Amino acid sequence: MGWKVDELHKLLNPSSVVVVGASRKPGKVGHSIFKNLLESKVRVYPVNSQAEEVLGVKCYPSVLNLPEVPDLAVIVVPRLSVPQVMEDCGKKGIKYAVIITAGFKEIGEKGAWLEEEVVEVAKRYGIRFIGPNCLGVINAVAGINASFAPEPPLPGKIAFISQSGALATSILDWSVEQGVGFSKFISIGNKADVDEVDLLKELKDDPDTGVILLYIESITRGPEFIETAYEVSKTKPIIVLRLGTSEAGARAVSSHTGSLAGSEAAYSSAFKQSNVIRVGSVEELFDLAMAFATQPLPSLEKGVAIVTNAGGPGIAATDACSKLGLELASFSSATVDRLRQRLPKKVQVRNPLDLIGDAEAERYRSAFEELIEDESVGGLLVILTPQDVTEPEKTATYLAEVAKRGGKPVVACWMGGKMVREGIEILKKHGIPNYATPERAAYSLYGLYLYARLRQKAVGKTRKPPEIEIDEESIRKIIQLVRSVGRQNLLETEAIEILRACGIPTPRGGLAHDLDEAMKIAEEIRYPLVMKLVSPQIVHKSDIGAVRVGIESPREVEDAFAILKWRTEAYAPFAEVIGVLVQEMVMGGKEVVAGMYRDPCFGPVIMFGLGGIYIEAVRDVSFRVAPLTREDAEEMVREIKMYKILRGFRGEPPSDISSIVDVLLRLSTLSTRFAEILEIDINPLIVLPEGRGCVAVDARMRLSPE
């Protein structure tokens, strides 16, 4: 991958920091930051040309006057002064900055221009910086708070990267109350330089960080994100929350971040390809974070054991596991025997294990001890409701004791208020996450299982798109030809030729300019035939009936030719007719579609779906960002809802799926190498039964303006 390890180390671990714009006035951001840094384990200098001292520390009029070259500059000056301050930092030899100041790209065109100025200065001096328009950076483990957050977070194993400063403030406030600790807490703001990709690289080997949380509204470097996140995910889970998935939400993101939002299809594909764990809300983000920060990963082949003293919540947990695809463990017969001995007769030994309302701590302990040792159990979900004889604290203590032994994840759900509060504190103290509802506890276990699976799948692998030969020379020629006549849309014949040059099977046949030629082509290939009008003005041929299928004889060729001619004259008199495409009719297959569009953040995105009217009605399609690995392409095919139709449903023969995978990989290669192709649409691609391949029988392509 070739990035420099520890490139941003000093940015997150400075020994000395200058605050440019440090203020004496409480309530000012420049005051809060300086105060926070003064209380941190760093040497800190205030720069303020209007003041002698700030909080008793001698002030410097400029960065240039500092007695040493600090590791980091935190900049809180008015926005128009930022370029000059960066210039000074550069001259002084400062290598890292955090620009807190707002009023850049997020407010529109003028701000964007100012931001470019800042980037230009930074590049000139080789300064790496976070921001502008951010809350700052906190290294909670090292005790460094270079932000204006009023209260530093507790130290812990969670790294949090947030594109929203305001959300970060809420989360900091909440985390202190919940006792959730962080390693790094980084608000990246407009990410004009350092972005989530840089930080993922940096945090990959950070010994303080066990799990990385990412709140993002947009990703700028799509392909780099996929590659980096995939690599980092092999060692640490990355949990991503991206909002703006709805149309209205996407509009709000664009207006809020000032950046072009990519499509949700591209994001969701990219997250799959990068092996990150995507969540749908802030709540899920932290529910998972707490599990990852405290619990080991489960063995994939082992199931969940649910222990409860109340039927209802036990059923809720069971439902939730089932919906999330988590299997419940079948207890080994030895365990069942021992549980039967240790538990009262009225307890039915099964999973979920309902210890019944009168379960005291000892009964729970028996269950814990047996289940944590059971070979079939991968993780424990323990529910406690406060009933008459329930012992929430003692039960918590027992659970903590047993959890330490097992090397298995344990999550808890002490449900209620005052009566369970002490018990929850004990669980927390021993690193067992507690969730308010059984559903959330199940979700957190699901996260652990999911990551275990993703990691297992990725172990020892890299994302390597297969090398595929395509005839670039021919493709270039066709594109040149199309451009030379000033067109952007390719004719069907041209699109088919490009596909052929990519090694994608296309039907036999050719373009006929008159009936004689059509007859000649017909003779060379086998009946039945398809005949289609070729005209640059007619993109949707079927709309005017300019496609004739099932032509069985020379007589019908003649007839079809006449009909096409008549139809065109009648319905599209303006159209320039290039000729008639005469093709073999491919039969006995299933219609699928394959294609490509370009996303502003991720570049080419490959699409796959089943064809035909029913499928269009339910939009059964899958996407992946190019370049595709073989695995990506295989997943695309498996992902559609009607995959079983392709696998051979109700006695029909299975379709040649590997030939679809091949087409998708070739489309990926084509679109990666030819940036001028904006859109590809193969519809239909006819897939024949296994071993017989597939054929692209119709295609459209569109080029970018020259």
Per CB under 8 A, contacts with its own copies among 226-285 are: 243-249, 252-253, 255-257, 280-283
Q: Which is nearer to its own copies, 296 or 416 (CB)?
A: 416
Q: Which is nearer to its own copies, 413 or 479 (CB)?
A: 413
Q: Which is nearer to its own copies, 456 or 542 (CB)?
A: 542
Q: Which is nearer to its own copies, 626 or 646 (CB)?
A: 646
Q: At what angle do helices 165-178 and 282-294 cross, to 10 degrees?
A: 50
Q: Which is nearer to its own copies, 312 or 466 (CB)?
A: 312
Q: In terms of Cα–Cα distance, which of 199, 259, 207, 244 is closest to 224?
A: 199
Question: Binding string, 81-120, against its own copies, x = CB under 8 A?
Answer: --------------------------x-------------
Q: How far is the CB of 268 from its own copies (least distance, A)?
A: 13
Q: How far is the CB of 621 from its own copies (least distance, A)?
A: 14
Q: Can residue 349 be called a binding residue for its own copies (CB under 8 A)?
A: no
The beta-strand segments (E) located in 141-198 are: 144-147, 154-162, 181-187
Q: Which is nearer to its own copies, 49 or 348 (CB)?
A: 348
Q: Which amino acid is at 531?
A: M
Give dist(CA 371, CA 326) in Å, integer.
17
Q: Rg (Cα) of the chain, in Å, rounded? A: 32
DSSP-derived 3-state class of residue 2: coil
Q: How far is the CB of 308 from its own copies (least distance, A)?
A: 8
Question: Binding string, 161-180, against its own copies, x = CB under 8 A?
Answer: -xxxxxx-xxxxxxxxxx--
Interacting span for its own copies (CB under 8 A) from 1-9, 122-130, 313-321, 516-524: 313-321
Interacting span for its own copies (CB under 8 A) from 384-392, 426-434, 656-664, 666-674: 384-392
Query: Which of residues 155, 181, 296, 386 is near its own copies by CB under 8 A?
Result: 386
The footprint of its own copies on residues 410-439 (CB under 8 A) is: 415-420, 436-439
Structure-block tokens of residue 505: 């099977």
Query: Which of residues 14, 136, 237, 313 is near its own copies by CB under 8 A?
Result: 313
Q: Can residue 613 be called a binding residue for its own copies (CB under 8 A)?
A: yes
Query: Which of residues 295, 318, 506, 568 is near its own copies by CB under 8 A?
Result: 318
Cβ contacts of 505 within 8 Å, gap of 6 or more: 659, 693, 694, 695, 696
Q: In terms of Cα–Cα distance, which of 171, 115, 116 is closest to 140?
A: 171
Q: How far is the CB of 89 from its own copies (least distance, A)?
A: 25
The footprint of its own copies on residues 29-68 (CB under 8 A) is: 29, 32
Q: In terms of Cα–Cα distance, which of 276, 272, 277 is closest to 634?
A: 272
Q: Which is nearer to its own copies, 159 or 665 (CB)?
A: 159
What backbone phi and psi angles, to 5 degrees, belong to 179? 75, 25
The footprint of its own copies on residues 473-492 (CB under 8 A) is: none
φ/ψ region of 131 (left if φ > 0, alpha if ψ in -120 to 50, else beta) reads left
Q: How far is the CB of 389 from its own copies (least distance, A)?
A: 7
Assess contact for 190 and 131: CB atoms under 8 A: yes
Q: In terms of Cα–Cα distance, which of 439, 409, 415 is closest to 322?
A: 439
Q: How far is the CB of 163 from its own copies (least distance, A)?
A: 7
CA atoms within 13 A on the CB side of 311: 2
Name the strand (E) or helix (H) holding 405: helix 392-406
For the beta carbon of residue 378, count every other beta carbon within 10 angstroms. Answer: 24
Give dist(CA 338, CA 345) in Å, integer.
12
Q: Can residue 217 be called a binding residue for its own copies (CB under 8 A)?
A: yes
Counting every residue written for the chain, the total comes to: 706
